[in-house]
Structure 1
């Protein structure tokens, strides 16, 4: 009966949207529902015809009203809102912000679109193409139809560059660039490739000192009369290219203004000031704000060097990447020398040396904890006059459950952190670095006191020393050669001790923990390329704790020989985690986001399990959203927790998580999502206190699965996320009963209470 009602509602919506979107149209006009391109040519394969048609379709203008499953809800909202009486208020907002005006067929210039398509196919080498336009209409809806008959595509027969023994040095330089040319004999003729080749030649020449050269000085002549639908391409320098663009320039003087002020720039430059000569640099810094060493590590130019655009860009990028200067710019001027030379000037406007920032955050999670946190950060951006960054942070926060089983077990946090970052590698061995990003050395000390009301309190100390560097905008790496973490309980209540009697695994949380060893992480992402159809994010981490100490002491926890340092058993394990994400762009405002996380922690030597603070957890607002945070696993284990006590966190040594989410813009800043999450955690070794928790070959039968839908309010600088999810598979049930799809009953209050999980969060889950 419920399904019949749902079908009736859907049919009613279809009729509602369909009828109302045309009755508001101007008399004699029709609603434009889009254009189609048909490529007719038997010489092209079916896939090539389809690819060409899809490419041409993107050029058609205007675009029709955005739709979803054949409906146009934004147009429907525009129509029902009516004409507002004033330019404000709810109706105005509904019509102009949520709604979308109709795209009328009278706005379509079919002849212009046909000319655009004709021009594009000719630029792709279909020199004898023919294009025509037509249209169809029905029920006051019109569609434009374009037919393209391209004929056979012209290919490149020969590419002729200047000879190596050319008359001018510029021609000879261009001749040496032919080997990596994008113009290949046998390839289809493509004007975009020709333009890209001109840009490539210009870039290579600028790296060889041709400062004033331009892509416009390159001429690619096309001879399409050689027969058999082929063309010869002749790469030349235009005869009208000026002399200064034909010369190679060297660097002469290098002058740096590290306290350049934009408000009184002329006074800064014209006023006589004391200068300092450091190697090849003339530094105008009478107050000695910065030590000259920072320029030696950021500027790639030296006197006498041939100008290079690569060194030009690297120098600017590294100056910006220091994080010390608000504005960075440079200029090149012809030097007063006999040979072609350039004087270089760098104008650097520093940020305030010291600053303080206060952050107040609100937090919530699927365990029904709500709270806030305050952070106070004090920074010194030039601590030792070489762009070192000193940061002192104090923080405090509270998480409270207003209703639910964890009510009264509030979490309070307070602590501080001090970090110092040097914009260089501090090592006994000098390491050369030529990337656009300044490498960094970081030292950090952190302390946190956490009080879990009615349960326990923990003191946590952590110190790190390591290196951070970026090879390019897509790859970032971090190596901590020293990473020490010490956790010690300061208070344990009688209630918690009683719970340990029934759940001995809870004792791991309050044990003293000493973890030390190197850690490493590698991150790759190209998600900044918004126009790419496929983008990726990948992060891998490696944690090797207690390896050397375990070998030296001969620790063997399985054999009962546990070793201690300073009276505390140290942890010994290897842990690696891999987070891979793929984003598939489906349209202008929709994408399919997927993620897989694989984590493996192998305790050995002095440990039988990973320490609690380094174990894996699963479930919650950024994980499997249909389950409470840290509530799943390990394996099929399910603690028998009564309704009169707190819910313990579950942890494991191995983790597998899979997520996929369809995201689409609904209107304005409101986006919708449909998602499915799956995963679980497991133990490396058998633990009698957690039966069913060990990893086995049947791990795929123990995955928890959940699904749901959500809304995202995306206002660029902030994303508010609302998700409603429910479980499809519960791994702790008997194997034949784990799928619970047949139990889904939104009409049941009991089912909703036990299964529906509402999440409020900031930002996307991945």
Structure 2
């Protein structure tokens, strides 16, 4: 009853607040608040933002259900809080005297800027919006913009008007009406050549014209054609050509809706005395390429110089680079015709070496050349520091560590072998404390982890044969060789691990990337598998609850002084006794114990993975501010084939008859996955984002399951946000393990992003997905993907979130609700846990996808 009354009271307060708000509070009696503005084109309402943005005045932004939240925030602020304070202070002289004695005259004067006096009002004004007052002058200018817009899109006879309606005291609406008329089409294009060189180049590219006969007139087509022709001419040697040399003469064909176009390309204009002289354009060629490796810029100051591949390299001191490393990154060569493209790709290639600052490239006319159409290209480079050291320090807390200290250090060495190679060395050390783990010596820091990585990058493909025929330098190829080691003590199962990778990557096109890991080696050695039940406590509790039902049959040595299973040895002995029928249990309990035993074996086994994979990525995103794009990532991986080939006799096996190398069963599997992301920019501050992911790993040969580190999990900040990471699935099992994983995954997310105020943005999302076991050793039907009917086990999470844009990163807070939970019986899956008490709060950096 009390809860019901509280809810009624809350609803009453909210409704009262909404009705008490007055949007015209700051609007004078003789003016109008603009509450609505719409555009009708040929009597049809327009929703296209490109058109709506032509209005110079729009109503105040609305939040939910059309409520003008920002306007109300502005109205809640005091008009002049500081002046109101001063008036209040001077209203009674004793107030000023009393405050001056308590504080000081200076502090009393400064109280006007205090938060409780004017600070709140200032915040409301900064994040709110002042009322949009109807301005007829801006309305008239808006009609002009509509006519210009449709004129530029081929409706040369477009006419625009407006109508203002007073809908309430101090409130008004505007309706713009546009009559487009008939569209005009390009009927003929006449090219008027100005020189032989320009004409010959134009003939090579005229079939790719943006404008064309029969197309509806569009001003942007003419601008794009001007840019396209300019780019073509400059990339084919016409060094002095600029866009302003291209002009159009457009005129109507009698009284029809046909347009004739004269394409006019002027000659080059140069100043001669006090007049301009026109002359035909020339094609310029590169006569010299000079590279100044330390930005000296003057050859007479160079202490070291060399000519390599017809490129002159200068240095004010001894040259610290192999000439080939520099010339391989340069695409401007003597004898080439001038090209903006070669200049751009050279700049990008030199930047990708990551041993120089952004390069500067200039061209000067070669006065010594008799043809008078030769250029000298000077490339100025400023080397980055050879050594860069960085260090970091962090305090940590996790479900295992109550308190931890993490230290990291890294050293970058550039131009290691004078061929633009980059060597990166990094290390980390972590010490921590945990009350959950066994600590007989009562040492505070009873956890530790140490590791290091080395990575060497070459700006080319390292192969015993030439690859430039199918991976040219323009694709920016790189080779990376990396290795890493780490050692954990008293964290989890205590692990030693080693990784080694030999990879190649290149860009077939500007926004496409291919990466091949020729060798991807990972070795994991679990030092203390008996710590398993000390770490995975929920699994221990499940096992112990079964043991409590068979206390009479259990060997007392399996138990500790509290009468529960001893975590390290007792748990293992109890599982073995159940599985070999030494302890009779019910079929249901035996199934659970077998499942726990299988997972124990899986997570405590040592892993040796020798894999090869290829990853292909393609994106249409031009930059970080491009919100209308799609991206595709596909990956295929195969593991174990090389080791199986080397281990032909299969003579060494473990207790499960798996072939071993170095006493470790090596993994054999194939794995494929695909991820597709599509974003639609609905308006300047509204984006609809989607993500689809599918992955499947199939064990074969020497493996009956996928290594844990190569499996899939569901839930978490960047996945299904209504579940914690590793807590969803597999299938309809209900996430009963501490870390739930499987070898098949499907995921789909839909997110609507919108602006709330300033840098604060909001989102409403739906996440759908789950993981399953398939083609592996798991037998429990709740875990397995049986057929298409298993898609009923796709979990659905919905929620909302906030994002604050700090420009260099985005802080994200999401709240997810379990909307459809496959862990329940089919009839009870919808909205059973849809409440704040079971919501999951996710904190992350940047967008989830």
Tell me the TM-score normalised to structure 2 length.
0.80
Corresponding position of 2:742? 652
Distance 1:527 1:373 in 2: 36
Post-superposition offset of 1:509: 1.5
Distance 2:767 2:25 in 1: 43
Contact 1:223 1:231 survives alignment (8 Å)? yes
Corresponding position of 1:624? 720
Q: Which runs of 5+ in 2 are unaligned?
A: 83-111, 271-277, 438-443, 532-566, 576-592
Distance 1:648 1:289 in 2: 55
Whether 1:289 and 2:320 are equivalent positions in the alignment is yes
Kindly report which structure 2 residues correspond to 1:638-677, keeping only aligned pairs within 5 A, or say none. 638=734, 648-677=738-767
Whether 1:429 and 2:465 are equivalent positions in the alignment is yes
Corresponding position of 2:198? 170
Whether 1:465 and 2:502 are equivalent positions in the alignment is yes
Q: 1:169 to 1:88 in 2, by over 3 A?
A: farther
Residue by residue over 1:377-428, the C-alpha shift from the partner in whole angstroms, topping out at 9 and shown as x without a partner, is: 1101211112111000112347889999xxx999754311000001111112
Whether 1:254 and 2:254 are equivalent positions in the alignment is no
Whether 1:693 and 2:769 are equivalent positions in the alignment is no
Whether 1:359 and 2:392 are equivalent positions in the alignment is yes
Secondary structure in structure 1 of the residue aligned to 2:498: strand
Whether 1:492 and 2:529 are equivalent positions in the alignment is yes
Distance 1:492 1:367 in 2: 16
Distance 1:88 1:325 in 2: 50
Corresponding position of 1:344? 377
Kindly report which structure 2 residues correspond to 1:182-197, keeping only aligned pairs within 5 A, or say none. 182-197=210-225
Higher helix share: 2
Residue by residue over 1:593-615, the C-alpha shift from the partner in whole angstroms, topping out at 9 and shown as x without a partner, is: 22221110011111111011111
Q: 1:535 to 1:400 in 2, by over 3 A?
A: farther
Corresponding position of 2:175? 145
Q: 1:27 to 1:145 in 2, by over 3 A?
A: same
Corresponding position of 2:451? 415
Q: 1:315 to 1:33 in 2, by over 3 A?
A: farther
Corresponding position of 1:210? 238
Kindly report which structure 2 residues correspond to 1:89-128, keeping only aligned pairs within 5 A, or say none. 89=115, 90-91=119-120, 93-106=122-135, 109-128=138-157
How many residue pairs were aligned? Answer: 732
Find the partner of 2:486 among 448, 467, 473: 448
Q: Give the structure, 1 or 2, with the largest relative contact order (CA under 8 Å, sep 6 or more).
A: 1
Q: 1:541 to 1:93 in 2, by over 3 A?
A: farther
Q: 1:160 to 1:620 in 2, by over 3 A?
A: same
Contact 2:794 2:822 survives alignment (8 Å)? yes
Residue by residue over 1:659-690, the C-alpha shift from the partner in whole angstroms, topping out at 9 and shown as x without a partner, is: 22222222233222222222211112364574
Residue by residue over 1:169-194, the C-alpha shift from the partner in whole angstroms, topping out at 9 and shown as x without a partner, is: 21222232210001121110111100
Residue by residue over 1:22-76, the C-alpha shift from the partner in whole angstroms, topping out at 9 and shown as x without a partner, is: 11124422223453222127xxxx7xx858x654322221444322231222222
Corresponding position of 1:590? 686
Corresponding position of 1:723? 814
Q: 1:627 to 1:372 in 2, by over 3 A?
A: farther
Whether 1:390 and 2:390 are equivalent positions in the alignment is no
Residue by residue over 1:242-286, the C-alpha shift from the partner in whole angstroms, topping out at 9 and shown as x without a partner, is: 55771100001111111117xxx7xx6763544222221111113
Q: 1:388 to 1:554 in 2, by over 3 A?
A: same
Contact 1:624 1:679 survives alignment (8 Å)? yes
Secondary structure in structure 2 of the residue aligned to 1:456: coil
Whether 1:78 and 2:74 are equivalent positions in the alignment is yes
Residue by residue over 1:344-396, the C-alpha shift from the partner in whole angstroms, topping out at 9 and shown as x without a partner, is: 10111111111011234577789998867443111012111121110001123
Q: Which runs of 5+ in 1 are unaligned?
A: 641-646, 747-751
Distance 1:120 1:335 in 2: 47
Q: Which has the higher Rg, Structure 1 or Structure 2?
A: 2
Post-superposition offset of 1:306: 0.9
Distance 1:88 1:385 in 2: 61
Corresponding position of 1:517? 611
Post-superposition offset of 1:204: 0.5
Find the partner of 2:600 among 495, 506, 511: 506
Secondary structure in structure 2 of the residue aligned to 1:59: coil
Contact 1:460 1:486 survives alignment (8 Å)? yes
Corresponding position of 1:36? 38
Q: 1:732 to 1:122 in 2, by over 3 A?
A: closer
Residue by residue over 1:689-711, the C-alpha shift from the partner in whole angstroms, topping out at 9 and shown as x without a partner, is: 74521211122122222222222
Contact 1:317 1:436 survives alignment (8 Å)? no
Q: Which sits farther off after the overlay, 178-187 or 90-99?
A: 90-99
Distance 2:68 2:432 in 1: 43
Secondary structure in structure 2 of the residue aligned to 1:259: coil
Distance 2:406 2:498 in 1: 20
Contact 1:34 1:63 survives alignment (8 Å)? yes
Residue by residue over 1:410-465, the C-alpha shift from the partner in whole angstroms, topping out at 9 and shown as x without a partner, is: 97543110000011111122222457562210000011223454x52011100001
Whether 1:702 and 2:702 are equivalent positions in the alignment is no
Post-superposition offset of 1:97: 3.2
